[in-house]
């Protein structure tokens, strides 16, 4: 089984309570999660530990996830079982910092899917992000996944800071 880790951080010029509100308001998810069409919780329940969330993406993919940890204004962890034995665990931590909130995302993807596992040393060489000229042909799944998370966090930051009236700087 292959494991892919993604670690990202953003500092938002907004109070922790505001950032937490956007992270836990399911109706807002489609405004910032890359390619998400709609998200709903079981029976319209608020986000809490063991809450189930249905995600519907624009490409027709449907994913069911479970909140595995939820500590108000501090930690949100969601586990999703994806196709082909692919399990994703996303953890978001919030920390108060001078002038705002630091959002720390840690994502761990465990999968049996061959697209994330090089079959040999040559394949491993071409799996790195800078594998010119092959990079011109197709973005590898690892890179696409990373950039999807990165764009989602930037969308979240822009959305929050537009609401609080402070422009987000990348």
The CATH number of the domain holding residue 18 is 3.30.530.20
How many residues in total does the chain contain? 170
8 in any annotated domain: yes
pLDDT attached to residue 29: 93
CA torsion sign for 3, 58, 128, 6 is: negative
169 in any annotated domain: no
CA torsion sign for 104, 102, 145, 86 is: positive
SS3 content of the chain, % helix, strand, coil (to 5): 35, 35, 30
The pair of structure tokens assigned to 61 is 């993919």
In whole angstroms, what is the distance from residue 154 CA to residue 148 CA?
10
pLDDT attached to residue 161: 85
Domain count, the chain: 1
37 in any annotated domain: yes
Please write the tens of the pLDDT for every residue from 98-141: 989 999 999 998 877 555 554 444 444 444 444 444 444 445 56
Is this model's pTM higher than 0.85 or not?
no
Closest CA relative to residue 85, chosen from 113, 107, 60: 113
81 in any annotated domain: yes
144 in any annotated domain: yes
**Structural domain of 115:** 2-164
**Residue segments in the chain with a per-residue pLDDT below the cut of 70:** 1, 83-84, 113-141, 166-170
14 in any annotated domain: yes
pLDDT attached to residue 134: 43
Q: Which residues make Cβ contacts (< 8 Å) with residue 121, sequence separation at least 6?
A: none
170 in any annotated domain: no
pLDDT attached to residue 54: 94
């Amino acid at each position: 089984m292959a494991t892919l880790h993604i670690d990202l951080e953003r500092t938002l010029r907004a109070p922790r309570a505001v950032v937490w509100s956007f992270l836990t308001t399911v109706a807002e998810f489609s405004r910032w999660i890359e390619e998400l069409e709609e998200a709903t919780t079981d029976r319209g329940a608020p986000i809490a530990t063991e809450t189930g969330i249905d995600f519907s993406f624009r490409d027709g993919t449907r994913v069911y996830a479970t909140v595995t940890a939820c500590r108000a204004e501090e930690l949100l962890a969601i586990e999703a079982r994806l196709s082909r034995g692919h399990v994703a665990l996303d953890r978001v931590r919030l920390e108060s910092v001078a002038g705002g909130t630091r959002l720390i995302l840690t994502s761990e993807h465990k999968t049996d899917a061959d697209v994330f596992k090089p079959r040999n040393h040559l394949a491993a060489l071409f799996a790195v992000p800078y594998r010119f000229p092959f990079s011109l042909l197709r973005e590898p799944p690892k890179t696409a996944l990373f950039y999807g998370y990165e764009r989602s966090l930037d969308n979240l930051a822009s959305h929050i800071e537009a609401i609080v009236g402070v422009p987000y700087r990348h």
